[in-house]
Amino acid sequence: MKLLKEASVRPTTGQEQVRATVSEMLLRIEAGREQAALDYARQFDAYEGPGFVTGDELRAASVDAQLAQDIALAHQRVQDFALMQRSSLREFQLELAPGLWTGQRLVPMECAGCYVPGGRYAHVASAIMSVTTAVVAGVDTVVGCSPPRDGAVHPGVLFAMRTAGVDGVLCLGGVQGIAALAFGLFTNRPADILVGPGNRYVAEAKRQLFGRCGIDLYGGPTEILVLADSSADPEMVAVDLVGQAEHGPDSPAVLVSTDESLARAVMDRMPSIIDDLGSSAAAAAWRDCGEVIVAEGREEACQISDRYAPEHLEVHCSDLEWFLMRLRNYGSLFLGEETTVAYGDKCSGPNHILPTMGAGRYTGGLSVHKFIKTLTWQRMTPEASAEMAPVCARISRLEGMEAHARSAELRVRKYRG
């Protein structure tokens, strides 16, 4: 392995101050409720309006005809993919032993809070990804939340949420928006789960509220890692790296190549592509968070990638099927130069709310599964209960739990005499 460029800033840099700030804000909002949330909206967003979007405003949200068609197409693809995910789940019952019936039920959550960022960009696609998936999962009430821009939620975001089937929308951003969803402010419907991307303050608020409600995942800055061999087009690789770097100045962009000349060709192109874009965020991200690594072969390249467990993983290599079967840690995989992360971010179907900061080692991205509880049940005949009791009693006494043992033995006496 050869390191051609190393990141000087990590996603966790400065996190201690973020944690302290978020903790104080959550305490104040929980105590002060709606007024405290609106006070923060005034402080951070210069927003003087109500904390919610009226039904008339939601119905009136519009975009031009072409964008309406585009949003409808993206919604349809996300919905179709989510429906297939839903069909992969099933309820069942199974007789594990004579008279011992067990099973599982699939029960959607009652209320989901879907946060849609709106600071630097109007994240229309995030509105589609989160709300659509919750609706397909069968959640009873889906509440959207997005920060005000020029005194209101961006009309494109509102239109997308309405298209996806949202039940109501809050006009709040950042920590105050996440807190409002979790505490049920303005709706009297506390969220059972909080989903959606956001900045480090949003992510930290979700982390601190986990346990009180569920969260989709603990997210950090957007990430991309590209695996490339000598067959890759350096221009496409560079453009795709910059495409994700524009998310923010702390967004890691990593290239792992088995060909040093390809890696250097990509590095040579990055400055001009960034300059042409005119994005200070992309420039800072590449300067501070960009990395370029040369691997000795494709096996080492995959090992490096799996250690990163990147949010977005592009493969610009020959023998794509080998990489599909070999790679195991990532949020979402994009195989071949034809399949850019940008498609997944906006409209191709699989969800773009994905794990970051190595979380791809233990979780996937947002899916219908996140909104559905898998609940187990069991039922026994008296004969099966009496058969089970001695095993339970012996294990309980081995553990030192006498009351457990006696609850089992009581059933032996009742059902067998």
Question: What would the pLDDT profile of 362-410 be if each residue is shown by its tens digit?
Answer: 999 999 999 999 999 999 999 999 999 999 999 999 999 999 999 999 9
Lookup: tokens for 356? 């970051």
CATH class of the domain at 15-89+106-216:
alpha beta
The whole-model pTM stands at: 0.94
Q: How far is Cα 384 from Cα 185, in angstroms, rounded to an integer?
A: 49
Res 179 pLDDT > 80? yes
Q: What is the pLDDT of residue 15?
A: 84
Q: What is the mean pLDDT of residues 306-335?
A: 98
Give CA–CA dist 111/138, Å, rounded: 10
**pLDDT class of 119 with cuts at 50, 70, 90:** confident
pLDDT at 417 over 80: no
CATH number 1.10.10.10 is the correct assignment for the domain at 221-364: no
Q: Tell me: the pLDDT tens digits for 11-62?
A: 777 788 999 999 999 999 999 999 999 999 999 999 999 999 999 999 999 9
* HSE, side-chain direction, 13 A CA sphere, residue 281: 15
What is the tens place of the pLDDT at every residue in 222-269? 999 999 999 999 999 999 999 999 999 999 999 999 999 999 999 999
Question: What share of the chain in percent tops pLDDT 90?
Answer: 94
For residues 286-313, give the mean pLDDT. Answer: 97
Domain with CATH 3.40.50.1980 in the chain: 15-89+106-216, 221-364
Residue 122's pLDDT is what? Answer: 87
Q: Report the C-alpha gap between 351 and 173 in whole angstroms.
A: 22
Rounded CA gap, 162 and 154, in Å? 12
Please tell me the chain's helix, strand, coil percentages from 3-state DSSP, rounded to the nearest 5. 50, 20, 30
Question: At which residue do the structure tokens 């959606």 appear?
Answer: 196
Where are the extended beta strands (E) located within 193-316?
A: 193-195, 214-215, 224-228, 253-257, 290-294, 312-316
Q: What integer pLDDT is reported at residue 220 of this predicted model?
A: 86
Report the DSSP beta bridge partners of residue 168. Answer: 143
Residue 60 has, within 13 A of its CA and on its CB side, a CA count of: 7
CA distance linking residue 170 with residue 356, whole number of Å: 26
Residues tagged active-site = 311-312
Nearest to 279 by CA among 271, 269, 268: 271
Average of per-residue pLDDT values in the chain: 96
268-280 average pLDDT score: 96
pLDDT of 9:
83
First to last CA, the chain: 72
Length of the chain, in residues: 417
